[in-house]
Every structure is written in C-alpha cells, then in structure tokens.
C-alpha cells in the first residue's frame, strides 16, 4: 500500500472520532502551509495506524490519533519507531508545535522545540 492518494497531503488517521481533541495540531500543520487529509477509523493501534498513514501519503508523513495520544510517523522509519508521540494532557503549545514539526518534516527544515 504505497502512496496512493492523488493530492500531496499528510494523511491523518483519526481513531474513534477524536479530531476535535487535536485541533491545535491541525492548526500547526496549516500554519506551515502543508495540506492534510483526514481519514476516520473506528478502532486501531495509534503507532501502526500512523505508519500506515505515512506509507499511503505522497509526502511520506502520517499521523494517527485517538483520545489519549497522537503519533507522527515517517515512511522511512521502522514501523515501531515513530518520530513524535504526543499525549493529550500536554499543553496546547506542544500540540501546535507537533503540527508544525510534522509539516516541517515534509519541508525538510529544522523542527521547533515542542515547548518553545
């Protein structure tokens, strides 16, 4: 299941209808000018879902989230080794910067500090 989406976008797998919990992450991606595509799933493992999303994204970056955590993955990393893991209880700036960093991975520019 390699890059099969026609439009270049970060693929985001939303597990159990939790997208509203991660709004700041989506805003961070938008701030960097990178498009994203939401796909909804009723259940699944967050790390594996993020890796599968990265494999299906033409930009090689995938995200998955549930009600507790959000994972950013890159297609060229091992499936069990995501790039970033964010917990829901972390502050909104960490959420925003994680979105920025997912987009910056696509752009190939340095990451922001999650707590800056």
Tens digits of per-residue pLDDT, 59-68?
Answer: 999 999 999 9
Provide CATH code, domain 10-107.
3.40.50.10150
Domain coordinates of the chain in residue numbers?
Answer: 10-107
For the entire predicted model, the pTM comes to: 0.93
Residue 9: predicted pLDDT: 98
Residue 3: predicted pLDDT: 44
Residue 6: predicted pLDDT: 66
**Spatial separation of the C-alpha atoms in residues 11 and 92, rounded to whole Å:** 21
For the chain, list residues with pLDDT below 50: 1-4
**Spatial separation of the C-alpha atoms in residues 93 and 24, rounded to whole Å:** 8
Residue 114: predicted pLDDT: 79
């Amino acid at each position: 299941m390699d890059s099969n989406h026609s439009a270049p976008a970060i693929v985001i797998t939303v597990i159990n209808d939790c997208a509203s919990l991660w709004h700041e992450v989506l805003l961070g991606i938008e701030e960097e000018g990178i498009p994203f595509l939401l796909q909804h799933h009723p259940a699944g493992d967050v790390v594996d879902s993020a890796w599968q999303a990265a494999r299906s994204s033409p930009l090689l970056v995938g995200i998955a989230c549930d009600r507790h955590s959000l994972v950013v993955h890159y297609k060229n990393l091992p499936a069990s080794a995501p790039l970033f893991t964010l917990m829901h209880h972390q502050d909104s700036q960490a959420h925003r910067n994680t979105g920025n960093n997912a987009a910056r991975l696509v752009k190939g520019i340095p990451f922001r500090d999650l707590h800056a």
